[in-house]
């Protein structure tokens, strides 16, 4: 049986109260004691004051990631009352910037009016991050602030260090106390799992126990540096033994080339997290709430000891020392939040060659319906007769039609059939 998140509750003055179970929220709505304040995440507001209501302190726990960030709200009893997975759009931002850069360079190369390069008149402020990385920090902060408005968040816990690459490269560096206790080996192994995609480097086997293997055998003078480590299933590890990788894969030159290249390649996801961890930590401190920090190895140790599966929101719940005693239902269905942005400020779009298109950018709304609105569409007749609830994918100001994904297909509807449930806020939601 699937378990859903708790429902946020606001009192008559919009002050956050302790989240309640969905059944309790349905009873309050049925009896007319509350009204729907927000659809996603589902929030109700009381119509009758409850001065004796007990407000439990809530801890907001964060597991930052390069593509997705896990979020979990934990009450004072250590129970997860709300979970979410936030999907960033950093890759889309990077692709857009690269496209714009290539178009500008193309214009300079053509036999047209000369456009002076603009790379020498920019001064980056201290603490500057690329837009694709700054986006990860800002979207995470957005949801921390939202949770503070919806429930009584009194403290924050964040995984500040995912992988200490310098420490793994040189284990003799000072400050390795956290690696010499019960967390010994967790940091390196977690890094290798991410780097090799949680599968055997030689046969590609997945969902099987993997062993840490030296690419250049240790018996032949190979080091224990991360660049010389790979993951292998037990049969491949035994078969390779103390053979050099060039001998072991002499009949598979393509695989040999791939393994050697992957061993030297740094983990870009870890680099992105490491680049943003301090900026996120400083911004969280500016909220004036106590901030607890933890390492990625500690998070994995807590989750493994509690025998919880690997999920982003579960990792978030297990962050820090407080994550050692957290209790949750693994069947809980987290809210999936995808950052979609608020459109573009570009006034004249271009084709793939950099030339302006004939038609100028259209309006952003049709009959007060905008792209990204969460709405209900009731189609009275035709092939797609029925009632549909979802996010408006796009609008057409010429035909006054809107599109919505229905059963995996993008279907057009008349904008007059749309009833807005919640205005666009830059995110798409799913369960």
| Residue 103, SS3 per DSSP | helix
Mean pLDDT of the chain: 85
Predicted confidence at residue 181, as pLDDT, reads 42
List the alpha helices (DSSP H) in 110-175. 131-150, 165-169
Residue closest to 276 by CA, chosen among 286, 284, 288, 287: 284
Predicted confidence at residue 399, as pLDDT, reads 87
Cβ(218)–Cβ(229) below 8 Å: no
Predicted confidence at residue 267, as pLDDT, reads 61
Highest mean pLDDT among 54-58, 98-102, 296-300: 54-58
Tokens of 122: 């920019």
Cβ(159)–Cβ(64) below 8 Å: yes
Residue of higher predicted confidence among 118 and 315 = 315
Q: How many other β-carbons are positioned within 10 Å of the β-carbon of residue 180? A: 9
* φ, ψ of residue 298 in degrees (nearest 5): -65, -40
DSSP letters of 400-424? TEEEEEETTEEEEEEGGGEEEEE--
Does residue 56 register a pLDDT over 60?
Answer: yes
Does residue 158 register a pLDDT over 90?
Answer: yes
Q: Where in the chain is the domain with CATH 2.30.30.30?
A: 365-426
Does residue 163 register a pLDDT over 60?
Answer: no
Does residue 171 register a pLDDT over 50?
Answer: no
Predicted confidence at residue 360, as pLDDT, reads 66
Predicted confidence at residue 179, as pLDDT, reads 41
Tokens of 306: 């509690």
Residue of higher predicted confidence among 42 and 3 = 42
Predicted confidence at residue 115, as pLDDT, reads 64
Give tens-digit pLDDT for 210-231.
Answer: 888 888 888 888 887 777 888 8
Cβ(18)–Cβ(347) below 8 Å: no
Does residue 166 register a pLDDT over 70?
Answer: no
Cβ(417)–Cβ(375) below 8 Å: no
Give tens-digit pLDDT for 331-382.
Answer: 899 999 999 988 777 777 777 777 777 666 667 788 889 999 999 999 999 8
Does residue 170 register a pLDDT over 60?
Answer: no
Cα 310 from Cα 187, distance rounded (Å): 15
Residue 266 pLDDT level (bands cut at 50, 70, 90): low
- Sequence-distant (6+) residues with CB within 8 A of 20 are 6, 7, 9, 28
Q: For the domain bounded by 365-426, which CATH number is listed?
A: 2.30.30.30
Does residue 296 register a pLDDT over 90?
Answer: no
Cα 361 from Cα 348, distance rounded (Å): 6
Predicted confidence at residue 379, as pLDDT, reads 93
- Sequence-distant (6+) residues with CB within 8 A of 84 are 5, 41, 70, 71, 72, 143, 313, 334, 335, 336, 337
Predicted confidence at residue 194, as pLDDT, reads 76
In DSSP terms, which residues pair with 79 in a beta bridge? 327
Q: How many other β-carbons are positioned within 10 Å of the β-carbon of residue 42? A: 17
Predicted confidence at residue 119, as pLDDT, reads 67
Tokens of 227: 């660049």
| Residue 269, SS3 per DSSP | helix
Predicted confidence at residue 3, as pLDDT, reads 73
Give tens-digit pLDDT for 13-37.
Answer: 999 999 999 999 999 999 999 999 9
DSSP letters of 54-71? ----EEEEEE--SSEEEE
Cα 218 from Cα 194, distance rounded (Å): 23
Q: Where in the chain is the domain with CATH 3.30.420.10?
A: 58-89+129-163+269-339
Cβ(37)–Cβ(43) below 8 Å: yes
CA R_g for the chain: 26
Distances from the Cα of 383 to the Cα of 119, 123, 139, 380, 410, angstroms:
55, 57, 39, 10, 14
Tokens of 169: 């490269």
Predicted confidence at residue 253, as pLDDT, reads 87
Whether the model pTM is above 0.85? no
Give helix 296-305 / helix 186-195 axis angle, nearest 10°. 100
Cβ(43)–Cβ(10) below 8 Å: yes
CATH H superfamily, domain 58-89+129-163+269-339: Ribonuclease H-like superfamily/Ribonuclease H (3.30.420.10)
Predicted confidence at residue 411, as pLDDT, reads 92
Predicted confidence at residue 29, as pLDDT, reads 95
- 250: burial class by Cβ within 10 Å (0-12, 13-18, 19+)? exposed
Predicted confidence at residue 193, as pLDDT, reads 82
Residue closest to 38 by CA, chosen among 137, 151, 138: 151
In DSSP terms, which residues pair with 422 in a beta bridge? 374
Q: Which of 29-38, 102-111, 199-208 has the lowest mean pLDDT?
A: 102-111
Tokens of 298: 């500690």
Residue 74 pLDDT level (bands cut at 50, 70, 90): very high
Cα 178 from Cα 277, distance rounded (Å): 18
Cα 92 from Cα 94, distance rounded (Å): 5
To the nearest whole percent, how much of the chain has pLDDT over 90?
43
Residue 114 pLDDT level (bands cut at 50, 70, 90): low
* φ, ψ of residue 350 in degrees (nearest 5): -125, 160
Predicted confidence at residue 182, as pLDDT, reads 41
What architecture is domain 183-266?
A: Orthogonal Bundle (1.10)
Highest mean pLDDT among 114-128, 182-196, 379-393: 379-393
Cβ(166)–Cβ(176) below 8 Å: no
Q: Which of 90-94, 122-126, 138-142, 282-286 has the lowest mean pLDDT?
A: 122-126
Distances from the Cα of 285 to the Cα of 278, 292, 411, angstroms:
11, 10, 45
To the nearest whole percent, how much of the chain has pLDDT over 70?
87
């Amino acid at each position: 049986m699937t378990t859903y998140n708790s429902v946020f509750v606001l009192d008559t003055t919009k002050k956050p109260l302790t989240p309640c179970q969905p059944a309790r929220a349905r009873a309050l709505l049925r009896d007319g004691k509350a009204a729907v304040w927000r659809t996603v995440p589902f929030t109700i507001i009381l119509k009758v004051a409850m001065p004796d209501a007990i407000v439990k302190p809530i801890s907001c726990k964060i597991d930052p990631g390069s593509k997705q960030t896990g979020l979990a709200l934990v009450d004072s009893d250590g129970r997860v009352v709300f979970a979410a997975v936030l999907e960033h759009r950093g890759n889309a931002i990077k692709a857009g910037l690269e496209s714009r850069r290539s178009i500008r360079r193309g214009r300079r190369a053509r036999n047209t009016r000369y456009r002076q390069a603009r790379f020498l008149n920019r001064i980056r402020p201290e603490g500057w991050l690329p837009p694709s990385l700054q986006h990860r920090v800002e979207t995470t902060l957005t949801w921390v602030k939202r949770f503070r408005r919806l429930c009584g968040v009194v403290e924050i816990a964040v995984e500040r260090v995912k992988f200490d690459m310098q420490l793994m490269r040189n284990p003799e560096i000072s400050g390795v106390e956290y690696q010499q206790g019960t967390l010994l080996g967790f940091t390196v192994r977690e890094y290798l799992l991410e780097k090799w995609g949680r599968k055997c480097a030689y046969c590609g086997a997945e969902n099987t126990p993997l062993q840490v293997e030296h690419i250049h055998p240790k018996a032949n003078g190979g080091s224990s540096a991360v660049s010389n480590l790979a993951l292998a299933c037990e049969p491949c590890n035994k078969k390779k033994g103390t053979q050099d990788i060039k001998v072991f894969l002499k009949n598979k030159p393509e695989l040999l080339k791939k393994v050697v290249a992957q061993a030297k390649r740094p983990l870009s996801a870890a680099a992105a997290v490491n680049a943003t961890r301090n900026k996120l930590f400083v911004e969280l401190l500016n909220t004036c709430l106590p901030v607890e920090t933890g390492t990625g190895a500690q998070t994995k140790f807590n989750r493994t000891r509690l025998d919880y599966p690997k999920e982003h929101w579960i990792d978030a719940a297990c962050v820090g020392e407080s994550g050692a005693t957290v209790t949750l239902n693994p069947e809980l269905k987290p809210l999936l939040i995808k950052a979609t942005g608020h459109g573009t400020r570009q006034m004249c779009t271009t084709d793939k060659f950099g030339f302006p298109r004939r038609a100028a950018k259209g309006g952003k709304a049709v009959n007060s319906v905008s792209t990204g609105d969460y709405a209900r569409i009731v189609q009275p007749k035709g092939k797609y007769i029925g009632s549909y609830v979802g996010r408006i994918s796009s609008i057409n100001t010429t035909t006054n039609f809107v599109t919505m994904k229905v059963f995996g297909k993008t279907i057009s509807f008349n904008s007059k059939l749309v009833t807005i449930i919640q205005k666009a806020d830059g995110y798409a939601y799913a369960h």
